[in-house]
Chain A
Amino acid sequence: MALKQLTPASYRSDVWNDWCPGCGNFGIVAAMTQAFAELGLAPESTVVVSGIGCSGKTPHFLNVEGIHTLHGRSLPYAEGIRLANPNLTVVVNAGDGDLLGIGVGHFVSLGRRNIDMTVIMHDNTVYGLTKGQAAPTLGRGLQPKALPKPNIQDAINPIALALASGYTFIARGYTSRVKHLKEIIKQAIEHKGSAFIDVLQPCVTYDNIHTVEYYNKRVYDLQEVEKWDPVVKSQEEAPQKMAQAMLKAYEGGDRIPIGVFYVNPNVPTYEERLNERLKTYSQMPPAAQEIDRAGVPLIGNEGFERIFSKYVVTVG
């Protein structure tokens, strides 16, 4: 088969996109497909996993392996897929409610593992598809129009939580700056380890506070404006870089930083840890293994008794 030149269009399906006209999510689809094309990812070895809600529909709009899962559970699905077949590029698209509400346990746990995959969080501060309730990223006292009363819970800081959890690539993007977001997605995919991108994404229907105008006024690029160096050169430097990124994560109000906050390439990935233990994991991951020869199990009578000799008793 002749190699077709992959363009962003190659990664889009023909399913009608039913997000609200003007939705911030279009920028995420645009950035992701541009990043996939520039990285030349094969559609059948690229897996986009999502949870529930508007962000959950993302895979249907893409022409790659698309797994639209349950509320909060996108990460475990993605982990199972990636560990079973580490030759796949796995990108999760999930909302703030998904990752930091119902699925926050999985969010924290992925950081401990540093599995090589990318998590793109659609951060719009509300639950869109159920009509605008407060998401875990909505600040206290705020009242987007669908809320009958102002929010009385505090917001989780996604960057800070990702840092504390152990993600080794942590960034923030903004849907209205597509090139910037695309570059971050590319870096995240190329990063070896768990990468997290908090994407500021205005919900045009239910959030009249965090609008495009709101963000346009406040957002600035860390790398461009502050020459921010996120990279941990050696593991000894990690606490200091992390503390610095943590401070930056809490910058808010009139100035909202976007860009790469923290990168630590010194932590072994889960795949590397597995290979250390299983020895053959890299060359022969689960999905690449045969389990039978023409319907006959690989383990026969002799092999069984050898492997499980501990349980075999011969009458003496």
Chain B
Amino acid sequence: MSCRDCTYYVPHALYRYIGFCEKERRVVIGEEYRKCGYFEINPDSYIKDTIEGRGWIYCADCYMPIYDYETALKHKAMGHLLTTKFMFDQVAAEESPGVD
């Protein structure tokens, strides 16, 4: 078990090993696991509820949206991180050029 299995872990959009702990409000490294007292695993229904509610879930390891439950389960079985939320990126405007 590591932070990236925790429900309060918000991954970085590009660097999968960086994350944000919503409880401690600080950067954590995804692979580590601290005994922090907040650790909680997403309920089994999380993926299903997300896909039903929002229509998709994002595989942070494959960098792609997944629109159906069966595919999401396969990714999950491989230990991929599935989420809809990514770390807020304050420097995007400085780092991303205008592209259109």
Contact = CB atoms under 8 A, between A and B. Distances in A.
Whether A and B touch directly in their complex, counting CB atoms under 8 A apart, is answered as yes
Interface of A: 8-9, 12, 16-17, 19-22, 26-27, 29-31, 33-34, 52-53, 56, 129-132, 145-146, 175-179, 181-182, 204-206, 208, 212
B51 to A, nearest CB: 8
A8 B68 contact: yes
A137 B58 CA distance: 27
Given A130-B99, A175-B54, A22 B93 contact: no
B56 A27 contact: yes
A29 B58 CA distance: 13
A212 B53 contact: no
Contacts of A206: 92-93
A122 to B, nearest CB: 14
B39 interface: no
B49 to A, nearest CB: 12
Contacts of A208: 88
A21 B58 contact: yes
A206 B99 CA distance: 14
A33 B83 CA distance: 21
B52 interface: yes
A21 B63 contact: yes
29 contacts: A12-B67, A17-B64, A17-B65, A21-B14, A22-B13, A26-B54, A26-B67, A27-B54, A27-B56, A29-B55, A29-B56, A30-B54, A31-B55, A130-B98, A131-B97, A131-B98, A145-B90, A145-B93, A146-B92, A177-B54, A178-B55, A181-B55, A182-B55, A204-B86, A205-B89, A205-B96, A206-B92, A208-B88, A212-B85
Interface of B: 13-14, 52-56, 58, 60, 63-65, 67-68, 83-86, 88-90, 92-93, 96-100
Contacts of B54: 26-27, 30, 175-178
Nearest to B70: A9
A20 B97 CA distance: 14
A89 to B, nearest CB: 20
A132 B96 CA distance: 10
A56 B14 CA distance: 23
A129 B100 CA distance: 6
Contact of A8 (B67, B92, B93): B67
Given A27-B54, A131-B92, A179-B52, 11 more contacts: A8-B68, A16-B64, A19-B65, A20-B13, A26-B67, A34-B55, A52-B100, A145-B90, A146-B92, A179-B53, A204-B86
Contacts of B89: 205
A212 B6 CA distance: 20
Contacts of A146: 92-93
Nearest to A17: B65
Nearest to A32: B55
Contacts of A178: 52-56
Contacts of B97: 131
A146 B84 CA distance: 22
Contacts of B64: 16-17
A145 B54 CA distance: 25
Contacts of B55: 26-27, 29-31, 34, 178, 181-182
B60 to A, nearest CB: 7
A130 B100 contact: yes
A20 B95 CA distance: 14
Nearest to A7: B68
